Structure 1
Amino acid sequence: MCGIAGIHSPSGRPDTDLLQQMMTALSHRGPDGSGYYRDSEVALGHTRLAIIDPNLGVQPMCGEREDVWVTFNGEIFNYVELRAQLVDRGHDFRTRSDTEVIVHAWEEWGPDCFERFNGQWALAIWDRRTSELVLSRDRLGVRPLYFTRVGRDLVFASEVKALFAHPGVTRSFDPVGLDEVFTFWSTVAPRTVFAGVEQLVPGTFMVVRDGLVDEARPFWQPSFPERGAGRGADLDENAAGLRERLIEATRLRFERSDFPVGAYLSGGIDSAVTAGIIRDFTDADLHTFSLRFADAEYDEGGHQALMTRRLGTTHRDIVVSPRDIGEVFPDVVRHAETPLLRTAPAPMYLLSGLVRESGFKVVVTGEGSDEVLAGYDIFREAKVREFWSRDPSSPVRARAVELLYPWLDRNPNQAPAFARSFFGRNLDATDPALSHRPRWDSTAALKAMLRPAWRAESSDAAARLLDRMPAEAAGWDGLSRAQWLEMTTLLPGYILASQGDRMLMANSIEGRFPFLDANVVEFAGQLPARQKILGLDEKHLLKRAFRDMLPPEIVARPKQPYRAPDAAGFVGAGAPSWVAEATSPEAVEAAGVFTPVVVQSLLEKARRSRGRALSNTDGMRLCAVLSVQLLHQQFLGDRAAGPERIGAPADPPRPMTTFDQLETQRRTACR
């Protein structure tokens, strides 16, 4: 796991001082070393978190002919198997690293190599033979990759803050990007919330040649079977197939590392499965880490304790209070680089700090299971709404909504009339976004806080997204369409980014996600919908596949999504001082996104309730205001100029290894 940065300058002689400033902004992603390569057209930078082949896996890396160079962030988990294939084809290797496999795979297969990779990556390949720069990002967007244009130059990096180290990059919010966040909880690639800054779409690669940028080309996209079809009908056979693939995916991610690997243990089924596989199918000592809350409403400590006893792990946890969340929220936003509608990333930031403090660099987590195997309540909700939409006037069908969200104190069973009113809107069975309309409509209420000029510049984010849905989606069932929407919006933009990669790498921790293994995802995508959700039993096939490994209490407990206290950490006697500064009328006016009187009214409402009785929508409003104001302060405002805006060290990490074609004295790793 690392940070990458680069400059493609067809006019010649990329600036290495500028490149090193970009690398400095990424020091947290790679504290173990750094390096750069430069020739007359391209400069590639790298900050390294050494996981595989720590002595020889130095980057940027080239092949033996020095005509293909790569800077790479991530892991190719099937690199051992690919290396064997490449050796058989006559390639010579000098290291044991997965990075060198990328170089030779490009030499052998060209762009087809990306389909062969099973891993998580963001990478740049400079092919001197064709003078082409190639950028690529993994299938589901586990690893980030951003780029922008400065004149004819293309500048790219793992994080936006590295792009902002370039004095030629304009810094301002993008209205359409904010509109997407206030609809989907995140932007949808290639959009970001910063004007002129794009992110590479997951599952694509992009070629840059002579200052011209090709449109990103897909090498993979989510795929589902025709309605009523799928991978056979035998439930036990498919459960066995899922079990086999998930065991192998977890083993690969646990064993292919030159450093110890830990595991997150949340108290839910996903992390229980991955931790159980590690215990039963590897020889390693199992070290687990959990997040707990001082507020009992959010705490899953009882289920975590049950699993640690069952697994016999060496276990550590951290208890997070609302005040803890309030104190670290500015750091969280700085690393997330996007508005946040929930505080949930903040405890994950604190948890990754515990992992680092415990001496680990790598942790296996259960992210991706809910999207791939239909575990979210939104999928159950969609099934109920689709059932109801076939006869909207039926009072019997309407009562099905009372079965939703059993974990909520104010669940639909407690207020059936409100639930029927809320979930009964837009019951159009032909709507490809039937599943997501309630969430999007609820989130879109945040746009009322925007200044009129920003609302006027906003577009219909939902319509734009649905235009991108594949034509074959017309033949998918409702669950498959819902999964596509979730895997295109929330998964890469929030779960894997704001709550995942950014909070892990803020503390120099690599996250690995077995449920997002290419073989697991492909297999799950072809499963019949009724095997993922049997009745309203979410992730039924996963429970069936691992019922021998899990305590009944874990299998039987209702799905409880990860949540954290929102407003309570920002108001009251213990409110951090930054809140008043970031939300002062002067600061709100300077950012120009919200109207000061609206912000002050919302803050006063939160103070009166002490942050504990706000509605779901008001909680999102407060997080949105605070995070937008912090982003402006940290990245866009007058005080955002200079190194202090990114909170990075003065220099990139050492040792620094340079491969400079333009310097008389140069070192090369290829001799």
Structure 2
Amino acid sequence: MCGIAGWADWRRDLGAERRVLDDMTRTLVPRGPDAGGTWLSEHAALGHRRLAVIDIEGGAQPMRAARGAEEPCVITFSGEVYNFRELRGRLRDRGHRFRTRSDTEVLLRAYLEWGEGCLDRLNGMFAFGIWDPGRHTLLLARDRLGVKPLHYLAYDGGLIFGSDLKTILAHPLARPEVGPDGLAEMLTFAQTPAREVFRGIRAVRPGHYVLAGAGGCAERPYWRLESHEHPDDYPTTVRTVRDILTDTVERQLVSDVPVGTLLSGGLDSSTVTALATDSLHRRYAGPVATYSVGFEDEERYFTPDATRPEQDDAYARLVAERLRTKHTAIVLSTEEVVRHRSEVLRARDLPGFADINAAQYLMFRAVREEVTVALSGESADESLGGYAWFHSDAARAARAHPWASLPSALAAVLEPGLRRRVEHHLVDDYERALAEVPRLCGEDPAGARARELFHLNLTRWLTLMLDFKDRMSMRTGLEVRVPFCDHRLVGYLWNVPWHFKTPDGRVKGLLCDAMAGAVPEEVLRRRKTSFPVNVHPGYEAALRTELRDELASPASPLTPLLDRPAVDALLRDGAPPRGVWRTADTFATLLQIAEWLRVYRVSLR
């Protein structure tokens, strides 16, 4: 896992632009603390920062390889190709010779052999750029679910790209300008495909590639969800889900550095941990290292609600005991979370879920002290219908994003014009999302609506959750792998009917049946609980004081964005929670927006 940067320009000589490339690459040091490298030619410049996971000695980048006597192609690559061993064997059979054991070289030689067609053959999470001097083209590509980030800024005659927004903003041609639509995108808590917050800087869409040349650039899909009748009966479906997950976890345990799992004690993380434990036992390896997170005084102040009906700690310890893992419970304080809000802003370059992101960052930092790679359970809820909104008649009937209450809660304190723009942005994106759904001819209305909800979650919500996970983990130099994002599993589950996913009305009953006997029965019966948050009353009080101080300054960049009477009423009276969203979340988000406007010198135009 690494960070990548690059610049191609078909009208100027980049050989003398090392300073610019160094500035861009330097922004990626937290992503790649182990090593760095740059490569420059007349029309292309590539940078790389490395977190060494596979072939620690031989996997340095940017890496070059050639077709026979041709000029070498050059790659800068972030992520993992989990089927690189099989691909290496096929490429050897086709005459390729390898200098390293790395998946990077396999990926580059796969491109030499199959061109853009190599993407169809990859199983992994990845973002990469390949300069092909023979074609005078730059290829950018991103994995199918968008686990790894990749941004680019195209301009007349050239293109700049990088893992982080800050990487592109380090280039002199980029400007931290945010228009009204970009501001609305940032405030909607969804990631619109090819979204644009900073003007001109786009994200490569998951499952897409960008091919750039002297005549411009074009973005094309190489993978999409495909709808068809599900061919399997229920027992076969259960076995297939278990088999794909088993194979996926087995592949994702491959590493030349220590590996662990993130264990909340919920069904998804317990599934990953159980399969990892079984795999390591079969290889006579030691116990799995597992990690959970919680807050000081959680026992004292925790109050059950619909989104967090119970605490995680007891379940995480139960799973750890049953599976005999080496477990560490990470306990965070209110002071730590408040103190690291600035750090998580710099990790993501955009405001987010301030305290959840800070808790993620602090957890990952602690995990990184012992392991370099951790497996996590993201995407199970999006593919299997684990969220409450899948099971709410009101949410299923609403013609809106299922999580619309979150941006609505924040929009309630925004300046009326901005509030309307956020609302319109949500409506427009919802309609675009529905237009993208691959329909199944003849599907009944209930099944068709369930398919719409799954599409919204996989293409808008999941990408945001993966972005948070990637930014916070890579800020600490920790690689997080997500087995439930394996495209074979996601593609299979896409067509599994709703009544198979919820047998006898059981939420995610399909996964429960697939893991029966491997995951403790207490966990199989457990209700979904959201990621823990800081429940200490002092947290909200501290944020309230800080926000009042922020708004007391005539120079606050936040003031023009707010409906001041609404904010004053919220500071005075608070508001009831909207799902997972609390008054404290509004305060923290506003403070993070204020800091973002200042630190990134954002120009609102």
For the residues of structure 2 that align with 1:591 and 1:50, how far apart are their CA atoms? 45
SS in 1 for 2:554: helix
Which among 576, 582, 589 is matched to residue 624 of structure 1? Answer: 589
| CA 1:94–1:578: 2 relative to 1, 3 Å | farther
Are 1:486 and 2:457 an aligned pair? yes
Letter in 1 for 2:224: Q
* Bigger shift: residues 311-320 or 196-205: 311-320
Which among 523, 543, 550 is matched to residue 519 of structure 2? Answer: 550
Deviation at 1:16? 1.3
Letter in 2 for 1:336: R
Kept in 2, the 8 Å contact 1:327–1:576? The answer is no
Kept in 2, the 8 Å contact 1:442–1:617? The answer is no
Which among 404, 409, 413 is matched to residue 440 of structure 1? Answer: 404
Structure 1 counterpart of 2:168: 163
Structure 2 counterpart of 1:666: none
| CA 1:291–1:485: 2 relative to 1, 3 Å | same
| CA 1:505–1:442: 2 relative to 1, 3 Å | closer
| CA 1:187–1:521: 2 relative to 1, 3 Å | closer
Deviation at 1:31? 0.6
Deviation at 1:314? 1.2
For the residues of structure 1 that align with 2:289 and 2:49, how far apart are their CA atoms? 27
| CA 1:449–1:29: 2 relative to 1, 3 Å | same
CA-to-partner distance for each residue in 1:37-87, whole Å, 9 max, x for gaps?
111111000000000011111111111454211100000000000111111
Kept in 2, the 8 Å contact 1:260–1:362? The answer is yes
Are 1:187 and 2:191 an aligned pair? yes
Are 1:349 and 2:361 an aligned pair? yes
For residues 407-556 of structure 1, what are the structure 2 equivalents within 5 Å? 423=394, 427=397, 434=399, 436-437=400-401, 439-440=403-404, 443-455=407-419, 459-468=424-433, 469-470=435-436, 472-473=438-439, 475=441, 477=447, 478-493=449-464, 495-498=465-468, 500-556=469-525
Root mean square deviation of aligned Cα: 2.6
| CA 1:464–1:567: 2 relative to 1, 3 Å | farther
For the residues of structure 2 that align with 1:340 and 1:532, how far apart are their CA atoms? 31
Which among 207, 210, 225 is matched to residue 206 of structure 1? Answer: 210
Choose between structure 1 and 2 for higher RCO, CA contacts under 8 A separated by at least 6 residues.
Answer: 1
SS in 1 for 2:177: coil
SS in 2 for 1:588: coil
| CA 1:48–1:380: 2 relative to 1, 3 Å | same
CA-to-partner distance for each residue in 1:127-148, whole Å, 9 max, x for gaps?
1110000100000100001111
Kept in 1, the 8 Å contact 2:543–2:587? The answer is no
Which among 34, 38, 41 is matched to residue 39 of structure 1? Answer: 41
Kept in 1, the 8 Å contact 2:557–2:598? The answer is no
Kept in 1, the 8 Å contact 2:317–2:327? The answer is no
Deviation at 1:252? 0.7
Letter in 1 for 2:514: A
Structure 1 counterpart of 2:305: none
Kept in 1, the 8 Å contact 2:577–2:583? The answer is no
Kept in 2, the 8 Å contact 1:74–1:121? The answer is yes
For the residues of structure 1 that align with 2:267 and 2:430, how far apart are their CA atoms? 31
Are 1:310 and 2:295 an aligned pair? no
For the residues of structure 2 that align with 1:276 and 1:554, how far apart are their CA atoms? 12
Deviation at 1:154? 1.3
Kept in 2, the 8 Å contact 1:332–1:345? The answer is yes
Deviation at 1:614? 12
For the residues of structure 1 that align with 2:174 and 2:108, how far apart are their CA atoms? 30
Structure 2 counterpart of 1:219: 222
Structure 1 counterpart of 2:103: 98
Are 1:5 and 2:5 an aligned pair? yes
Deviation at 1:463? 2.7
Are 1:133 and 2:138 an aligned pair? yes
Unpaired runs of 5+ in structure 1? Answer: 386-422, 428-432, 639-671
CA-to-partner distance for each residue in 1:559-611, whole Å, 9 max, x for gaps?
22224137956543x569975665544353467433555545433445xx9x9
Unpaired runs of 5+ in structure 2? Answer: 303-307
| CA 1:442–1:292: 2 relative to 1, 3 Å | closer
Structure 1 counterpart of 2:383: 372
Deviation at 1:110? 1.2
Letter in 2 for 1:82: L
How many residues align? The count is 577
The two structures have a TM-score, normalised by structure 2, of 0.89
| CA 1:614–1:271: 2 relative to 1, 3 Å | closer
* Bigger shift: residues 476-485 or 308-317: 476-485
The two structures have a TM-score, normalised by structure 1, of 0.81
Are 1:301 and 2:265 an aligned pair? no
| CA 1:380–1:612: 2 relative to 1, 3 Å | closer
Structure 2 counterpart of 1:108: 113
Structure 1 counterpart of 2:278: 280
Letter in 2 for 1:334: R
